[in-house]
Chain A
Amino acid sequence: MRALTWQGKHDVRVETVPDPEIVNPRDAIIEVTSTAICGSDLHLYDGVIPGLMSGDILGHEFMGRVVETGPKSTLQKGQRVVVPFTISCGKCFHCMKQQYSACDNSNPVEKQDLSEPLYGHAMSGLFGYSHLTGGYPGGQAEYVRVPFSDVGPIVIPDGMDDDEVLFLSDILPTGWMAAENADIEEGDTVAVWGCGPVGLFAVQSALVMGAARVIAIDHHPHRLELARKLGAKVIDYTQTKMLEALMEMSGGFGPDAVIDAVGMESHGFAPDAVSDQVKQAVGMGADSAHALREALLAVRKGGRVSMPGVYGGFVDKFPLGALMEKGLQVRTGQTHVQKYTKDLLKRIQDGELDTTFMISHRLPLEEAARGYENFRYNQNEWTKVVLKPGTSLS
């Protein structure tokens, strides 16, 4: 089959690799019909997440048709399914608590040794996301072996387009959980850093959950425009004094809740951001956390901090004092996708959520490398890239 492989920093290529097979009883094989590039993939592309090996197949946002099932799979051949990026067994303590991204049993034992010293506990398995999370071959490919196929994949009714449901695999539940983690109360002002796909879905979700005001922050005019169309107020951080503006736009309180949908590669021109970027560039294992620092200063006393943005290592100059002295609550994590898919599918069917507005480009899988490059360097126009295996070159 053809698959997008990581070869090194800023070097991804579509190559021919062996087709996957059923290996464990609960597996299914999916023939991919749509797969997307995620902001998380950019962290891999930029080489800031450890534990990738050259030749690894990337991709964790995918859907397709079931073509083969193991004896313990509950799927049937021919069904259309969206597959959560989190691989979860459905039986362990964490899965029973619906903390699917903390599953104990999905990361192969030998791979758990990598993250255990780093984080104190082993991570669960994720598709196409480095060997820290299992080294599972990902979904930017023609076929994928899906473990625990009786628990993860959600069956899609006929008549719904791929584009409408594809993002159930990750960014839609991620934006939703980000808003849920913000614990929104009536009258709240919620500020969202980053108007990438995750930030945009967080904006939409916060509004659905009843936030009185949502303020979206970025510097790409088109991305800000998408947020404005959803109903958010927007701030271009290159033009505005952020902390002052956020105070003024929230009645002098500061936002009740803040959402960091930027993650470890935050841009910025403040001294802390520049020093982070230098450390990242020289490979000191430091995450760039400018947006998060700003969010911690902006949020009101006793407010909530929700962090869907991904961090992998350590940060410097973290305003721990602000966290403690202001009595903040922090909630974060890889998304517990399986917890949300059913409810969100219904909301899509009911027309409550728009899931297609951010798709800017659809490319054949063969052109995936071009998709990565543009999603990375032309962020303003390239807001979300969907890849289609099996289609011819454009």
Chain B
Amino acid sequence: MDHYERRRLADHAPERGSVLFALGLGAAAGAAGYAWWARANRADRVDHPGDSAPGRTARRSRFGGYAVTGRTVTINHPRQELYNYWRDFKNLPLFMEHVKDVDVQGDLTRWVIAGPMGRDVHVETRITDARDGEQIAWRSTETSDIDTEGKVMFRDAPAGRGTEVLALIAYKPPGGELGRWIASLFQREPALQGRRELKRFKMLMETGEIATNRNRRTAA
């Protein structure tokens, strides 16, 4: 790891609020979450049939037991390359805050995520749907600390503008203290955190680096 990579990691020292997005993106596929999925993705909502905005932009943020967030960003880079980069989960900590470690074993991926007060959160995900160059979906397995699923979709932007990347995350607040903590974070700033992760991904893909205003490699 060269110093740029180390710096990137150092920049992503834990900050309250972004665990969930990381979790979501880190997390893999069951039938359980399917209801929110269909609704969050549906173009025309039942409760508001005249509106073609995506469900994830609805004023309400709960779909069944799940909280849902999503964000789109256009990246001036070929679709297949973006897909390949994301599909190699080992790359994700370079732009995701909090992801401390990623261990890929076939279909299963284990994520260690920096939690509050030095506590680690463990999530194991299974890929539920990977379509080359188009989308990657995942869902957490039962051994995980958190019940989550998500997917990231890649499609060509119009008129050669690159690729539209859409990330969708759903998460079910677990019980207990951890659950309350996570729920409070998630309800506060899920969209914000999703936005941050995707913007870092965009920076890295478009410019080869992640912008920082620091003018020293190490804290002075």
Q: Give the complex CA separation of A300 and B17 in angstroms.
A: 52
Q: By the criterion CB–CB under 8 Å, are B209 and A26 in contact? A: yes
Q: By the criterion CB–CB under 8 Å, are B212 and A24 in contact? A: yes
Q: Give the complex CA separation of A105 and B206 in angstroms.
A: 8
Q: By the criterion CB–CB under 8 Å, are B213 and A113 in contact? A: no
Q: By the criterion CB–CB under 8 Å, are B215 and A145 in contact? A: yes
Q: Give the complex CA separation of A191 and B137 in angstroms.
A: 59
Asked if A252 lies at the interface with its beta carbon under 8 angstroms from chain B, I say no
Q: By the criterion CB–CB under 8 Å, are B74 and A107 in contact? A: no
Partner among B161, B211, B215 whose Cβ is within 8 Å of the Cβ of A109: B211
**Cβ contacts A110-124/B at 8 Å (1 or 0 each):** 111100000000000
Which residues in window 100-149 of A have CB below 8 A to B?
Answer: 104-113, 125, 134-137, 144-145, 147-148
| A-B Cβ contacts below 8 A, count | 85
Q: By the criterion CB–CB under 8 Å, are A137 and B207 in contact? A: no
CB distance from A362 to the nearest CB of B (A): 26
Q: By the criterion CB–CB under 8 Å, are B76 and A96 in contact? A: yes
Which residues in window 52-77 of B have CB below 8 A to A?
Answer: 74, 76
Which residues in window 124-180 of A have CB below 8 A to B?
Answer: 125, 134-137, 144-145, 147-148
Asked if B155 lies at the interface with its beta carbon under 8 angstroms from chain A, I say no
Q: By the criterion CB–CB under 8 Å, are B211 and A106 in contact? A: yes
Asked if A93 lies at the interface with its beta carbon under 8 angstroms from chain B, I say yes
Q: By the criterion CB–CB under 8 Å, are A93 and B207 in contact? A: no
Q: By the criterion CB–CB under 8 Å, are B213 and A89 in contact? A: no
Q: Give the complex CA separation of A106 and B203 in angstroms.
A: 8
**Which of B207, B209, B214 is the most central at the interface, judged by chain A CB atoms within 10 Å of its CB?**
B207
Asked if A18 lies at the interface with its beta carbon under 8 angstroms from chain B, I say yes
Residues of B near A226 (CB, < 8 A) are none
Asked if A92 lies at the interface with its beta carbon under 8 angstroms from chain B, I say yes
Asked if A91 lies at the interface with its beta carbon under 8 angstroms from chain B, I say yes
Asked if A278 lies at the interface with its beta carbon under 8 angstroms from chain B, I say no
Asked if A20 lies at the interface with its beta carbon under 8 angstroms from chain B, I say yes
Q: By the criterion CB–CB under 8 Å, are A21 and B217 in contact? A: yes
User: By the criterion of a CB under 8 Å from any partner CB, how many residues of chain B are at the interface?
Assistant: 26
Residues of B near A144 (CB, < 8 A) are 215
CB distance from A74 to the nearest CB of B (A): 13
Residues of A near B209 (CB, < 8 A) are 24-26, 72
Partner among B7, B161, B211, B220 whose Cβ is within 8 Å of the Cβ of A105: B211
Partner among A26, A104, A145 whose Cβ is within 8 Å of the Cβ of B208: A26
Q: A26-B207, A107-B211, A108-B211 are in contact. Are A93 and B161 (CB under 8 A)?
A: yes
**Cβ contacts B190-220/A at 8 Å (1 or 0 each):** 0010001001101100111111111111001
Residues of A near B196 (CB, < 8 A) are 109-110, 113
**Which of A23, A90, A107, A144 is the most central at the interface, judged by chain B CB atoms within 10 Å of its CB?**
A23
Residues of A near B174 (CB, < 8 A) are none
**Which of B15, B162, B196, B213 is the most central at the interface, judged by chain A CB atoms within 10 Å of its CB?**
B213
**Cβ contacts A67-98/B at 8 Å (1 or 0 each):** 00000100000000000000001111100100
Asked if B4 lies at the interface with its beta carbon under 8 angstroms from chain A, I say yes
Q: Give the complex CA separation of A26 and B207 in angstroms.
A: 9
Q: By the criterion CB–CB under 8 Å, are A111 and B213 in contact? A: yes
Partner among B15, B208, B213 whose Cβ is within 8 Å of the Cβ of A72: B208
Q: By the criterion CB–CB under 8 Å, are A21 and B207 in contact? A: no
CB distance from B84 to the nearest CB of A (A): 19
- A116 to B, closest residue via Cβ: B195
Residues of B near A148 (CB, < 8 A) are 207
Residues of A near B210 (CB, < 8 A) are 24, 108-109
Partner among A90, A108, A113 whose Cβ is within 8 Å of the Cβ of B212: A108
> Which A-B residue pairs are the 6 nearest by beta carbons?
A20-B215, A18-B220, A145-B215, A24-B209, A89-B207, A91-B206
User: Can you name 11 A-B residue pairings with CB atoms under 8 Å?
Assistant: A22-B217, A23-B214, A24-B7, A24-B211, A26-B207, A90-B207, A105-B207, A108-B212, A112-B199, A137-B215, A147-B211
Other than A26-B207, A72-B208, give 6 A-B pairs with Cβ distance below 8 A: A21-B215, A23-B216, A24-B212, A105-B202, A109-B211, A134-B213
